[in-house]
């Protein structure tokens, strides 16, 4: 299993406290693997298919900037980085300042 941090950014908790956020690419469906490990998959539940390069993209707030595994994620999976970025933005009040040099 592989993890890559593909975007990083900063948002401001309560408008004043800087907090990190990142988008990670995983080579597996995090939620599916969790359900499988816990024996909680629904009948017929299927894994999210990765993008053409073999990645699924997730938002992380709690584990942001930590490149180690295992990890936890704070969103469902996406097949596009931009979709994950939009999900991150929808989860907080105020803007996220994404770093331009990522990915």
Residue 93 lies in a domain: no
* Residue 60 covered by a domain: yes
Residue 95 in any domain: the answer is: no
pLDDT tens per residue across span 42-84? 999 999 999 999 999 999 999 999 999 999 999 999 999 999 9
**What pTM, to 2 d.p., does this model score?**
0.92
Does residue 22 lie within any of the structural domains?
A: yes
Count of domains forming the chain: 1
Question: Strand 56-60 and strand 17-26: pairing?
Answer: antiparallel
Q: Which domain holds residue 21?
A: 3-84
pLDDT in tens, 6-43: 999 999 999 999 999 999 999 999 999 999 999 999 99
Domain contains 80:
yes
CA distances 40 to 8, 30, 73, 74, 100, Å, are 32, 13, 18, 19, 39
Within-domain flag for 24:
yes
73 part of a folded domain: yes
* 10 in any annotated domain: yes
């Amino acid at each position: 299993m592989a993890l890559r941090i593909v975007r990083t950014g900063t948002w401001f908790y309560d408008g004043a406290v800087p907090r990190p956020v990142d988008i990670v690419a995983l080579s597996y469906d995090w939620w599916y693997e969790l359900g499988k490990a816990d024996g909680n998959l629904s009948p017929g539940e299927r894994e999210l298919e990765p993008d053409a390069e073999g990645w699924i993209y997730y938002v992380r707030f709690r584990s942001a900037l930590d490149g180690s595994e295992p990890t936890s994620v704070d969103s469902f999976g996406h097949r596009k980085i931009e979709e994950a970025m939009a999900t991150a933005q929808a989860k907080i009040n105020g803007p996220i300042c994404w770093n331009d040099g990522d990915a």
